[in-house]
Each structure stands twice: as structure tokens, then as C-alpha cells.
Structure 1
């Protein structure tokens, strides 16, 4: 049996599952970390017969609000009976004595996360098109869920959502300022002057893109993952982010995952049209939402670059991230002008 990954003790987990879900596990557990980085940690766990997935916060000190296991577990539990494909939750543990942090267990779902254009290209143009359009259709299904009816009526504060988001990311930018970034203040200010009126609030994912879903053998989505940024808010923020990710970047060294250059990938206009047609929502202000997505990603990248300059990042590629920020700012300004 391979050694236990850092952050998860299979014996401790087995004991907890035996107490809380007697009969669920039929033998010794082994675990493997399947996703790391700055986000919550994800492990696959098996007893040799069945498989599960465990999510826990990153190792070390984190802000409780940024990696709230109870919040993630709550949203997938609420969405499980709906049309939105999510892994079925098994249990939530808030007792930190079990694994050193809160965690939750959910079912293992088969499927592939497509993270690069090369991966997607292997499907061929027709299947690529179907898979990406399925991404839009699933987003429509998510935004069609009535929050009250699934117990998520108090899951966020939708009033003033866009204004709060803009102020939040402006503060994030100020916390990372250590160089001139031409155009970023103009982008922030222009977004603030042209806030669109939000449609009715919906459950939003917050980081909706192709590599945060699993695609099955039939090119349909088997599960939407990574709900840590979900809340109640303006549904068009999810669409704007998806549209942003659907523009080919062609930037070597970019940490931003984009599959948009894969043959058969629908254009941003096709995605917007598909969403509008199936949801019935007015998407005429989508340029604002897409420009906001460019701004948000520019701020995130600048934060990574700032930590790199302080020697607080480990790994390859961080030295090139700072060069990408002006590209994202320019895309944001151009998008606003075109809108």
C-alpha cells in the first residue's frame, strides 16, 4: 500500500466513516492526492472495491471564509436533487480532531477534466463542440434552480453584488501594488461607472470553466466540481467568465487554462447566443461581465506576481506571470470599448 498523502490519514478517516456510516467501507483505505496548489485539497480514497473523494482546506493557516467545507458541502447537497450534475455528498465532518481540519466526503464520479487545447483536440471538432455547448447548457440549468426551493435562499447577499465584487477586487489590487500597471485603474473605474442592472439572483458557481467539470464518455458533463466560490449573485458573472476563457490567448507560460484554440470549440458569440436562447436572459451587457472577468484575472495574476517578487512562490513559471498582467488589462479595456 502506498504511503498516506500529506493531510489525510486513511486509518483516522476509516474510523470516522465506520462510526458515522457503518457498513460503507469494507476494508482498509488508501488515499491519493489528485489536486493541490492554492485551492482546497482533493483526494481519491478507496477500500479496493468502492471509491470516494475527500475535500479539505490547504495545509497550514487559511482564512475560514475562503475554504469553507460546510459551504461547499451545503451547495452540492442542495443541488444533488436538481438537474445540475454534482457528486452525491456522503458526509461533512467539522470535528478537526479527525483530520486536523474540517472535511467532507462525496461520491467518486467518472469523467475527464479537460485542461488543455491539446487534450480537447483529441476528441475531434464535433465532440469538442458538443462538450463545450454542454458546458453552457449545464450553466443554464444551474441558473434555473430556484434558491429558495433547494434551501439556499440565504446562501449569499445578492443586493449590490456587482458593486461589492468590484470593490473587493479593487482592494485586492491595492494589496498587491508594487509597480505601475498602465490601464488597470482606468479599467476599474470604467467598470464602476457602467455597472449594469443585475437580473434576478441565482446560485452561481464563481469559477465556471471547462476544467472545473468532468466530461463523460458521451461528451456530457457528469459533475460540476470546485464550488468553493459559489454564492447567490448575478448569474451573468458566470457567463462572462466562461466567455473570457473561451477566447484563445496563445500566450506561452500562461497559468490560465484555456482550451479555446481546440478545433471545433464554439466562439464566444456562439456561447452567448446558446445561453441567451436557452435561459431567456438578456445578455446585451455581456461585454461588461467579460471585461470584469479580465480585470479579476489580472488582479489575481498580479497577486501571484507580487508574491513571486517577495520570494513567496515555489515552482516553475512564476517568473513569467507578471508579463501576462498587461495583456489581461488590455483585453479588458478592448472588451469594454467593443461593447
Structure 2
């Protein structure tokens, strides 16, 4: 069977199918009616925690600037870019640019992306299928091949053949051979039966350990001042915070206490502490991102914030 040629049309179709799958999920507020403003907000939430180099390249290619937490106003000035993305999701455009298609894949979490990885993945599947469907080659036994090439004496071959036929026609010979075979396979099966059972039990145990230690707990949940790895189906007992997919970059994300002796700036004045206002006052964090509880974007701390909320309090 000839190998299928993976094209961008296959890629677009797969992304559209993913959109139909997730538009009623966690991001339904943004995707059910994908307006420019809603897609821009979804983009901002995604890229605040997205460290994927391919996705960051897709962002900079489309918007013509690198993502930066401090450039929210710059992104707002590019809102018109999201019009084409929304039209692609709604099927209103038949020829979206490659940049629009790649960005749409990021917004709906389609994998594998970008197109180069998609083509390589599904092209490999087709090659494996082609190998499975190929007709097996006929293999000629070496002894028979040499007999043909060297033109062995036909009388000798006939004599050997007659001897073999005579042996087969002898009932006692057949009974002896059958008995030897039965005894051999019965002993082999008895010895291997216990080995097979032990091997199966070991595989089941290993599979259970992998599932409960890694797969089942492949989620995270905010707990007091940090993220903890949790069971995706239940989370932490009594914790009402949202359970999110595992992200190793968030393991170092923490809420911190700031006092008048805390170092908040580099030598060049750049902030190394981030903050957001809450109903109870203000929370400080050790890096940029989104507040795990109220989902507000964190801002770099300023001397004004330190003076107002830290020094006055103390």
C-alpha cells in the first residue's frame, strides 16, 4: 500500500476536530463563541505559564514580538490578529496562513504540534503500516539452493527420499517419534508454566506501581503557598482549589512573605518579586505567573508597593 502524503490539510482538519472536542470543556467561556477579545484573554492565560519553545516561536512569529509578562498592552494592540483565528475555528476561512493554524493549535492544546512534528509522527505510522502490509519474501533453504546450483546426483537424492518414506510408513517408528515429542513438550510446558505465571505477576505489579505513582498522580493542586502533585481524580482532601495538569515549571512557584529586609530588586532595579491584590490585601510570589486562586496576572513589585503594603504594615 503506498504511503499517504501528510499535508497541511490533514493538520488543519485535526486541529478543527480538537477544537470541537474542547470547546465545551474547561475553556468553553473562551472557545464556544471565539471572539477576538476572548481569544486574546485565553492566549494571555496560556502563555503566562507556557514555556514551550515551539509555542513561544509561534507567538513571536504571529504577533511580531516575543512574549513578555510586562507587554500586555502590546498584545492588546494586536487584537485584530485573533479575528483570523476565530474565523478558522468557525470554518469561515478556507485558506488560513500557516501562522494562524499553528497558533490555533496552541490555543486548543493540539498534539503533536507544530506541523513538522505532526508530519513526522503520522508519516512514521504510515511507514510502519506499509512494512506490515508488505508481502513476505520467499526464502530458499541454503542446502536446497546448493543442491540446485551444484546439480547433485539425482540417484542419490532418490535413494535418500525412499529411505525417508520407508521410515515414515513403519508404524513402530511413528509411535516412537510421537512418544518422544509428547514427552518433550509435556516436560517443557510444566517447567515453563510456573515461569510464565511469575513473569505475568511481575508485569502486573510493575504496571500497578507505574500507574499509581506516576500516571494517576499526574496532576497538581495549589495548597496554601505552593503546588502539590495529586491524584487527578480526587486531589487533596478538603482542598477546593482547581486541579490542573502536571507542569514541572510550577513546582518552584511559591507564595512568599515579604518584609523590609527582603531583597526585591536586582542591582539594575529589575524586580525579582511579583504581587497581586486580593480581597484580603496583597500576595507576593517568587516569580511571574497567575494567582492560583483568583486567576489574576501577577505584576512585578515596585518601590511604591513595598512602601505602602510592607513598610507601613511593619
Q: Which of the five TM-score ranges fits, normalised by the shorter chain?
A: under 0.3
Normalising to structure 2: TM-score of the pair? 0.22
Select the structure that is richer in helix.
2
Which structure is larger by alpha-carbon Rg, 1 or 2? Answer: 2
Greater relative CO, 1 or 2 (CA 8 Å, sep 6+):
1
Normalising to structure 1: TM-score of the pair? 0.21
